Structure 1
Amino acid sequence: MTTNKYYYSGKFGIERETLRVDSQCRLARTPHPFGNDEHITRDFCENQIELVTPVCHSVDEAVKVLAELDKRTREELAKNGESIWLYSNPPHFDSEDDIPIADFIGDHSSKRAYREVLQQKYGKKLMLFSGIHFNFSFAEEFLRELNTNNEDFHTFRNELYLRLYKQLMVHSWLLVLLTAASPYYDASLDKDGKSGIIMSEYSSLRNSRRGYWNKFLPILDHRSLKTFAGSIKKHIVTGSLYSVSELYLPIRLKPKGVNSFENLAANGVDHIELRMFDLNPSAPLGIDSRDLEFAHLLILYLLSQPDFDLTPELQEKAVRDHQNAALLEPDTKLLEHGTEVIESMEKHFSENEKAIEIIAFEKEKILVRNHFKSSIVSASAK
């Protein structure tokens, strides 16, 4: 493990999506009550609430800011008899008429046009899935100390984040295994007019093959940030994607400011975004801070792993593994691989007591999943 004093430093941010519901736990029909507040906004639909923390200097600080935003939100919603639906899968709704597109106007009207395109392409129901996005960037001092060959810093930084992106893409399944929390859903998600709670075959519907994915698998070129941005541009130029925001993969490389391939290519990577976390209904804020702490440790661990070529075949496998991890009964080999990665992380962070505690918390989840899987196999053999 590195002894760099900036190793655990960085910038952290949380985006939490939820839905607004009325006293009957039906989707709220009132306008979004927070105006253009950049920290309490919405994503696709008007009856959604997205809390966006400012940049923080630790997971703990980001969670505390999220708690403050959550409190403000709940107090304001309570004035209209509304509350937050703290589940990744939506409550019962009658039809897509209950899902009004976010009413962005004025300077933000282009956001509405984009959402109208999404409605036509994917339908509104898909957009009701809610979750947590975790944003992270390394401390600049840490990156400068890593740059031992005194390469152009801009280039070095971009190449490092691209290498990390590839590692996270092929390991995104692990975070799904550890944080999936949405096996139940209302039948209205299947068909208008239906009702009743269904136990699905998935532990996370939004991460499963039924969840947030493009109509095709966007194959990207990871040789450099320039070719990476260029391969996104090709999908946009051909009309396969409306914009970079429609790239529904579990990991994103983000520039500072406007999220566009032009900005990414010109100004480079500012931070990396992990998009696979389900809302945890047993956690008051919808997220257990230990899960985000583990994600940070996973990022640091993967940074130490060797680079590789993320071929089209490996990109397809990464998505298959991600969707497999979203099953209630994922493949045994995936669970075994999860144990291997976690045990390797234990060795990597062996000198950090807090890290070992966080890793142990997640390791227990894998052990429980393995036990559950073996119990099912044993019962079926009788």
Structure 2
Amino acid sequence: MKKSKYYYSGKFGIERETLRVDSQGKLAQTPHPFGSDEHITRDFCENQIELVTPVCHSIDEALCSLAELDRRAREVLAEKGESIWLYSNPPHIESEDEIPIADFTGDHSSKRSYREVLQRKYGKKLMLFSGIHFNFSFAEEYLRELNTENEDFHAFRDTLYLRLYKQLILHSWLLVLLTAASPCYDASLDKDGMSGMIISRYSSMRNSERGYWNKFLPILDHRSLRTFTGSIKKHIVTGSLYSASELYLPIRLKPKGVNSLENLAAGGVDHIELRMFDLNPSAPLGIDSRDLKFAHLLILYLLSQPDFDLTPALQEKAAAEHKNAALLEPDIKLLERGAAMIDEIAEYFSDNEEAQQIIGFEKNKINSNACFSKTSMNYAL
């Protein structure tokens, strides 16, 4: 893949979900205190904050923006005796009554209707799992350089993002292996009235079989953006999905402006979203910059790989490997593949010293995870 001066450029954005808790560490029962601020909004429930950075021109800039939003949010919450729960798994919950659906009204009342559908379909507790979404788009100048055959630019762009989407779907397990950070949870997540910490069999519950997945695996047609959006529409028409937002896969293709299937079909792909990052409680903002920078390198590496047919069988395999990577002791073969893939990425970026440091940071995680898996440690609760 050609490495022009625009190669590492692009647009970057971060969305971070967290829960609001009171001084006792319980879910806050107060209304969302940030009004209609588009950068400090709600997700599923009234006590779940989503910080949304503006579009930035680097990961560092996006993290600076996230830090400012985090500071503003914490200041307001501190005045109310509340704080941010910086874990992907929720705190102790007495009952689902403590999980009020986000109170969207007026022009946004449809958002509440959608969340009521999710409540009936999946229950409220599942919706409390929180994480980081990473949004990325290539610099337009770079895409135009790649378009050597002078194809229609919008068609070329859509085809390129769809090809990248398939690669990321097939390799999402690698980012789960590297960023899983939620093995412990409160027993109340299993049953009302229960309490106490449990170390689960998962390193990331929200990415595991217990996490964000549809009741079935939606098989999609990736031959073109038209067939892709059409296959999603079929699931909606048959009632399998309420809307495209209910498509719980770890990667999304997003349009510019309002995120709707109609916008995506009409206007094409604006950016790609990676949705698998756990909140990292050891990082002040919930995410380590090196993890996001590795994700960017992975995107660039996968763009260099040949296209392929993402068959139904491969879609099933991708989902299974994603869930396998979320185990506390993932399959050793998956760890070995992860190490080999990181070596390939290191070779691809052999001329970039900063990239080598980031890749080395991630490789150490794989090596540590492999050693852990081989020991087959048993936890005594």
Q: TM above 0.5, one fold?
A: yes
> Which secondary structure state, in structure 2, belongs to the residue aligned with residue 142 of structure 1?
helix
Q: For structure 1, which segment, 125-134 or 251-260, has the greater mean C-alpha deviation from structure 2 after superposition?
A: 251-260
Structure 2 partner of 1:216: 216
Counterpart-to-counterpart distance in 1, 2:335 and 2:250: 19
Displacement after TM superposition at 1:371 (Å): 1.2
Question: Do structure 1's residue 51 and structure 2's residue 55 form an aligned pair?
Answer: no
Displacement after TM superposition at 1:262 (Å): 1.4
Structure 2 partner of 1:252: 252
Return the letter of the residue paired with 2:83. Answer: S
Question: Do structure 1's residue 180 and structure 2's residue 180 form an aligned pair?
Answer: yes
Q: Is the 8 A contact 1:230 1:261 kept in 2?
A: no
Structure 1 partner of 2:297: 297
> Which secondary structure state, in structure 2, belongs to the residue aligned with residue 168 of structure 1?
helix
Return the letter of the residue paired with 2:218. Answer: P
Structure 2 partner of 1:313: 313
Counterpart-to-counterpart distance in 2, 1:329 and 1:93: 27
Once the two structures are superposed, residues 336-369 of structure 1 have per-residue CA deviations (whole angstroms, 9 ceiling, x without a partner) of 1101110000110000000010000000000101
Runs ≥4 residues deviating over 3 A? none
Return the letter of the residue paired with 1:324. Answer: N
Counterpart-to-counterpart distance in 2, 1:281 and 1:101: 25
Displacement after TM superposition at 1:106 (Å): 1.0
Return the letter of the residue paired with 2:17. Answer: E
Structure 2 partner of 1:329: 329
Counterpart-to-counterpart distance in 2, 1:105 and 1:359: 46
Displacement after TM superposition at 1:375 (Å): 2.4
> Which secondary structure state, in structure 2, belongs to the residue aligned with residue 132 of structure 1?
strand
Displacement after TM superposition at 1:370 (Å): 1.0
Q: Is the 8 A contact 2:187 2:194 kept in 1?
A: yes
Counterpart-to-counterpart distance in 2, 1:259 and 1:238: 21
Counterpart-to-counterpart distance in 2, 1:3 and 1:189: 47
**Where does the alignment leave 5 or more consecutive residues of structure 1 unmatched?**
none
Q: Is the 8 A contact 2:329 2:376 kept in 1?
A: no
**Where does the alignment leave 5 or more consecutive residues of structure 2 unmatched?**
none
> Which secondary structure state, in structure 1, belongs to the residue aligned with residue 126 of structure 2?
helix
Counterpart-to-counterpart distance in 2, 1:237 and 1:265: 16
Return the letter of the residue paired with 2:336. Answer: E
Once the two structures are superposed, residues 286-345 of structure 1 have per-residue CA deviations (whole angstroms, 9 ceiling, x without a partner) of 000100000000000000000000000000000000000000000011001101110000
> Which secondary structure state, in structure 2, belongs to the residue aligned with residue 133 of structure 1?
strand
Once the two structures are superposed, residues 39-98 of structure 1 have per-residue CA deviations (whole angstroms, 9 ceiling, x without a partner) of 000110000110000000000000000000000000000011000000000000100000
Return the letter of the residue paired with 1:170. Answer: L
Return the letter of the residue paired with 2:243. Answer: S
> Which secondary structure state, in structure 2, belongs to the residue aligned with residue 275 of structure 1?
strand
> Which secondary structure state, in structure 2, belongs to the residue aligned with residue 87 of structure 1?
coil
Q: Is the 8 A contact 1:335 1:370 kept in 2?
A: yes
Write out aligned runs for 1:131-280 (5 A).
131-280=131-280
Counterpart-to-counterpart distance in 2, 1:122 and 1:371: 36
Displacement after TM superposition at 1:117 (Å): 0.6
Return the letter of the residue paired with 1:365. Answer: K
Q: Is the 8 A contact 1:255 1:271 kept in 2?
A: yes
Question: Do structure 1's residue 91 and structure 2's residue 91 form an aligned pair?
Answer: yes
- Identity over the aligned pairs, expressed in percent? 80
Q: Is the 8 A contact 1:253 1:269 kept in 2?
A: yes
Counterpart-to-counterpart distance in 2, 1:349 and 1:319: 28
Structure 2 partner of 1:129: 129
Return the letter of the residue paired with 2:240. Answer: S
> Which secondary structure state, in structure 2, belongs to the residue aligned with residue 145 of structure 1?
helix
Displacement after TM superposition at 1:376 (Å): 2.6
